[in-house]
Structure 1
Amino acid sequence: MTVALHDLLPVGLRRSWAVDGTCPDLDLYSLFRARQISDLHRTAVVDAKGTLCYTALDRKVRCLATGLAELGVRPGDVVGVQLPNGRNAVIADLALAALGAVALPFPVGRGGQEARGLLRRAEAVAVIAAVEHRGHRHAADLRDLAPELPALRHVIAAGGAAGTEPEGTIRLAALLRSDPAAFVPARPDPDRAARILVSSGSEAEPKMIAYSHNALAGGRGNFLASLMPDGTPPRCLFLVPLASAFGSSGTAVTLARHGGTLIVLDHFTPEAALAAVREHRPTHVLGVPTMIRMMLDRLEAEASAGDSPPLPAPTALILGGAPLDETTAESASRAFGCPVVNLYGSADGVNCHTGLGATAPESEGTGIAAGRPDPRVAEIRITDTETHERLPDGAIGEIIACGPMTPMCYVASPDLDALYRTPEGWVRTGDLGFIDEDGILHVVGRLKDIVIRGGANISPAEVERELSSHPLVRDVVCVGVPDEVMGERLAACVVPRGAQPPTLDSLAGHLELRGLDRRKHPERLLLLTELPLTPAGKPDRAALRARLANGAPGPEATPARPEPVGAAPAGVGA
């Protein structure tokens, strides 16, 4: 049985975007095929194995589609994909689109139990997984879980030498040798599901969100088009996993919609990322702020050692997945010689960005400027968090969105559809923000991330933004820690810049100079060498909260001095 994927937007509204040309109204493989025919030998993918042109990629896509069809994969079937960044992930994306099947990519590094939940709820009939990647043996793990997944018929093992695939799996390499001569693409309805995006997993169970061909190539494609000033096919370096929501703009947008070149690393390191910028000269670099801060540190180390080859200037750095502070944006703009685009978006269906005109996100007063909403991507409104009625400009409320990129529905989760979609189909983001008199969206924080200390609300995003400008702070995430007296207290998890770490005293002094109320000052300090990241590349707030709740040992955790109920935080360590 194929999982039911229904569209929560009115049919007429969805069709209107195809009629007026906002969406291309073609399935992803047809779009890719048109790009391939128009420029047979343009480079499509650059990965650890080298380069692959559009024609060679298309042949591999047809081979895999033939092999999957012979295994019984049919239009509408869901197929999981757990592969590192590289050509195999791209081939799988396009082959499934050509079959009219639905791709369910999720990043390598996610555990078997989480994978089981995703595949079970999506009723996946097959899964393509790496034999081995950085110590993980996903194909074997998923093979072992197969008896618990009644819909799963095949585990396809990618990578590794012949004979190393787990018993009971099918080698991807064998499917790629299928004869594609008789293959005929399915040509699915562009408004039908093409891909299921998986949330970053910060909640108990990751959400799965179904997107159509038009929502990906149209809505998300229009987002990238707005950052292509001359329309030249882009060369996009993806530092994030292609299997993440952010990475969904890889195959569907960079290749199928815009006919560009996709540059990927199978594992992010700042050294590899900088080498890719220098060698492959991308026009657009897509990553999260933490990655860019690591690259900036590496550039500083190169400069100190007198070995700093020049960086070719991209068209833009596109940073999303976590709040972007002014210090990082300004430093990155200087180092890379290009605009830094602050991208506000999520797998649930919202997108807004600051564009090519700004070098840093403005953060005067409350919130961070996220740019002017683009109705060709997603219209944005602000609503009351209790009544859900639309609020006037300047009022803070919940951000909701609707537009060509709006997804169809949550997968097998009617409770999430009821919670996060309005009766008209708009996406409720759970984010707080406001739209100013110039039409600029400002993001204040997350409704659920608010730390409530003694009845007072504290936005971690606001504190992070101010701490990021501290000279001894390279990276920072603030989280709430349970407390018997105050309910919660705020903890700052800091990666120091240089050998001298900051103290709670110095952080408090800095925040006081920045004008932040004392009640918002962190009361615990956790010093780290690096922030833990989720498989999607975002800061792992859940891991940090767990570490603090369990009492991190030694000098890394510095508790604040106990205070009576109702007092302002002291902001100093014991």
Structure 2
Amino acid sequence: MTVTLTDLLPSQLRRSWAVDGTCPDLDLYSLFRARQIADLHRTAILDAKGKLCYTALDRKVRCLAEGLRGLGIGAGDVVAVQLPNDRNAVIADLALAALGAVALPFPVGRGAVEAECLLRRAEAVSVIVATEHRGRTHAADLLALAPALSALRHVISAGPGTAPEGTIPLRELLRTDPTGFVPARPDPDSAARILVSSGSEAEPKMIAYSHNALAGGRGNFFASLMPDDTPPRCLFLVPLGSAFGSNGTAVTLARHGGTLVLLDHFTPEAALAAVREHAPTHVLGVPTMIRMMLDALEKTADPLPAPTALVLGGAPLDEATAKAAAEAFGCPVVNLYGSADGVNCHTGLRHLVPPTDGSGVVAGTPDPRVAEIRIADPDTHEALPDGAIGEIVSRGPMTPLCYVASPDLDARYRTPEGWVRTGDLGFLDDEGVLHVVGRLKDVVIRGGANISPAEVERELVSHPQVRDAVCVGVSDPLMGERLAACLVAKGSHLPSLADLGTYLTGRGLDRHKHPEHLLLLPELPLTAAGKPDRAALRRRIAEEQGAGFVRA
């Protein structure tokens, strides 16, 4: 049985974007193939193994597609992919698109329990998984879970090391004779990829995207960051298996004919070395990664080749980080507001440093060729006038089809007209610029008073002795919750809670919003998608509360 993926957008609206040219109206493999024919020997991938040109990549894609077809995988089948950032991940993406199958990629850092949940709910028929990566034996772990997954027929083991008995080595499929392979040519409005959200739900959300939504809607987003028709060279610091990473194969290669610069594991030193060696036009990452790179840059005087843009998303970007990054990298810093659920807006290339104000995050001007954005009443869903704060809702060419196997999420987050409810609060000013001010649910309730962690984080990272900050709620028997600040300090002087309180008062932050717990760390833990791991921080705080934990 194949999981049902229904498009929740009105069909006439979806088709209108193909008719008017907003979306290319071709499947991802056809788009890639056109790019390959146009420039046979352009470099497609730069990874730990070296260069791979478009023609060599296309041959490997056809080999794998024919090998997968021989296993009985075809149109509409969901195939999970858990691989590090390397050529195998790209080959798998394109091979599945060529078959008309649906790719379900997720980062290698996610554990077997979460992987089992994704494969079960998506009714995945196969999984292409790393044999071993940084001490994790993903292939063996998923093979052990296979008996409990009724739809799963094959575990395909990729990468160095011995493939566990019972799995199919990817290298064998890549030796398949591709001579007779004929691509499937799926409907461009059919499902191509399932994005996995790293949100706060009990189970990860899965969101189905069409070929047109990826190459068209998301492709238009990236086109706005390309000052001319020169194909981009993109350094992905985030996993290709994350929602942010969906701008890799589908957008950078298939839509724009560019080059992917890939690191199988992020470290600030490796990232800086890649910038120096490969001179990417675009660096895509999250603010925490850039702060780590800025720390590493302080230890060297070697200049960096200036990219076209530093594109930062996945977490709020503060003014101090943006200014330091613009100076260090010598290029515009783009603040990207977006999510797997189907929203995108950014500050563009006109600003070296993204504009800021005191009300929240300035997210830029919405682009209807990507996603139209409105502000709605959270209860009635009625549109609100400019300047009024409400829920940010989005609908446009990049809007996904639906949530996967989750009618409850479709009912909660999609309106009958197809608008996506983001759960974020914001407003549009009189110039049409979007401002994001917080989350409907992401509040700490202290004695009945609401505190926005994002608001406090914005102020903390502007402190001269704070490199990075994440605020989370801590359970408290008296107040219900109190706010904890988890900080990475800058320099040798470690700020105290008293120091922070004085500073926040000077910044105009009400006393009841001040952190009442402090956790100092050498660096913030990151999720598999590269975002700050708030759940890990809460666990760390819980462990230390009874062991001399700092409290106001």
Q: Same fold (TM over 0.5)?
A: yes
Q: Name which of 375, 380, 383 aligns with 2:373.
A: 380
Q: Do the aligned residues in 2 keep the contact of 1:368 with 1:444 (CA within 8 Å)?
A: yes
User: Contact 1:361–1:368 (CA<8 Å) still a contact in 2?
Assistant: no
Within 5 Å, give how 1:222-237 maps onto structure 2.
222-237=220-235
Find the counterpart in structure 2 of residue 207 from structure 1. 205
Runs of 4+ in 1 over 4 A off after TM superposition: 552-555
Output the amino acid matched with 1:113: V
1:164-208 residue CA offsets vs partner (Å, 9 max, x unmatched): 110100000000000000000000000000000000153321000
Q: Give the Cα–Cα distance (whole angstroms) in 2 for the partners of residues 521 and 194 of structure 1.
A: 45
- Taking the aligned partners of 1:553 and 1:321, their CA distance within structure 2 comes to 32
501, 515, 526: which is aligned to 1:533? Answer: 526
User: Which range is displaced more, 479-488 or 339-348?
Assistant: 479-488
Deviations 1:401-444 (A, max 9, x none): 00000000000000000001011111000001111111110001
Residues 552 and 133 of structure 1: CA distance in aligned 2, closer, same or farther (over 3 Å): farther
Counterpart pick for 1:336 among 329, 333, 336: 329
Aligned to 2:20: 20
Q: Which residue of 2 aligns with 1:455?
A: 448
Residue 172 of structure 1, aligned match among 161, 164, 170: 170
The CA distance in 2 between the partners of 1:540 and 1:213, in whole Å, is 31
Question: Given residue 543 of structure 1, which amino acid in structure 2 is its aligned partner?
Answer: A
Deviations 1:116-148 (A, max 9, x none): 010000000000000100001100000000000
Q: How many residues align?
A: 552
Q: Could you tell me how far 1:368 is from its partner in structure 2?
A: 1.0
C-alpha spacing 1:330/1:465, structure 2 compared with 1 (3 Å): same
Q: Which moved more, 1:524-533 or 1:84-93?
A: 524-533
Tell me the equivalent position of 1:512.
505
**Contact kept? 1:325, 1:361, Cα under 8 Å:** no
The residue aligned with 2:73 is 73
TM-score normalised by structure 2 residue count: 0.99
Deviation at 1:554, TM superposition (A): 5.1
Letter in 2 for 1:184: V
1:568 paired residue number: none
Paired position in structure 2 for 1:98: 98
Superposition deviation, residue 160 in structure 1: 1.8
* Matched position secondary structure for 2:113: helix
Mapped partners of 2:425, 2:536: distance in 1:
24
Distance in 2 (alpha carbons) for counterparts of 1:363 and 1:395: 18
C-alpha deviation, 1:455, in angstroms? 1.6
What is the aligned partner in structure 2 of residue 52 from structure 1? Answer: 52
AA aligned opposite 1:63 = C
Q: CA deviation digits over 1:514-542, x for unaligned, max 9?
A: 11111211111111111111100000111
Structure 1 counterpart of 2:160: 160
User: How far apart, CA to CA, are the structure 1 residues paired with 2:299 and 2:467?
Assistant: 14
Distance 1:554 1:317 in 2: 41
Q: Percent identity?
A: 79
Deviation of the 1:547 alpha carbon: 2.1
5 Å-filtered alignment, 1:74-473, equals 74-161=74-161, 164-302=162-300, 308-473=301-466
The match for 2:486 among 483, 493, 496 is: 493
1:563 corresponds in structure 2 to none
Q: CA separation in 1, counterparts of 2:483 and 2:359?
A: 19
2:34 corresponding residue in structure 1: 34
Higher deviation after alignment, 464-473 or 282-291: 464-473
Distance 1:201 1:104 in 2: 17
Deviation string, structure 1 residues 352-386 (Cα, Å, up to 9, x no partner): 00001123333322111000000000000111122
Q: Which range moves more in the overlay, 63-72 or 388-397?
A: 388-397
- Please report how far the alpha carbon of residue 552 of structure 1 lies from its aligned counterpart in structure 2 after TM superposition: 4.7
Distance in 2, matches of 1:312 and 1:248, equals 25
Q: State the TM-score, normalized to the length of structure 1.
A: 0.95
C-alpha contact 1:156 1:172 (8 A) present in aligned 2? yes
SS of equivalent to 2:338:
strand
Instruction: Give the Cα separation in 2 of the matches to 1:297 and 1:259.
Output: 33
Q: Does the 8 A contact of 1:202 with 1:541 survive in 2?
A: no
d(CA) in 1 for partners of 2:543, 2:325: 35
SS at match of 2:295: helix
Matched, 1:483 2:481: no
Task: Tell me by how many angstroms 1:388 deviates.
Answer: 1.8
Tell me if structure 1 keeps the 8 A contact 2:32–2:253.
Answer: yes
Q: CA deviation at 1:481?
A: 1.1
Q: Deviation at 1:546?
A: 2.3
Aligned to 1:565: none
How far apart, in 1, do the equivalents of 2:387 and 2:478 lie?
35
Q: Gaps spanning 5+ residues in structure 2: where? A: none
- Contact 2:497/2:551 (8 A) holds in 1: no
Letter in 2 for 1:15: R
Please list every run of 5 or more consecutive structure 1 residues that lacks an aligned counterpart in the other structure: 303-307, 561-574
Distance in 1, matches of 2:426 and 2:172, equals: 51
Q: In 1, distance between residues paired with 2:430 and 2:353? A: 20
Aligned residue identity for 2:261: I
* Deviation by residue 1:271-299 (Cα, 9 ceiling, x = unmatched): 00000000000000000000000000000
Separation (CA, whole Å) in 2 of partners of 1:293 and 1:113? 31
String of CA shifts for 1:240-292, please: whole Å, max 9, x gaps. 00000000000000000000000010000000000000000000000000000
Cα 1:49/1:510, change in 2 over 3 Å: same
Letter in 2 for 1:204: A
Q: Is the partner of 2:353 in helix, strand or coil?
A: coil
Contact 1:369 1:443 in 2 (8 A): yes
The SS at the match of 1:98 is helix
Q: Secondary structure at the match of 1:80?
A: strand
Amino acid at match of 1:8: L
Equivalent position SS for 1:433: strand
The corresponding residue for 2:550 is 558
2:410 partner SS: helix
- Aligned equivalents of 2:229 and 2:285: distance in 1? 22
How far apart are 1:553 and its partner, in Å?
A: 6.4
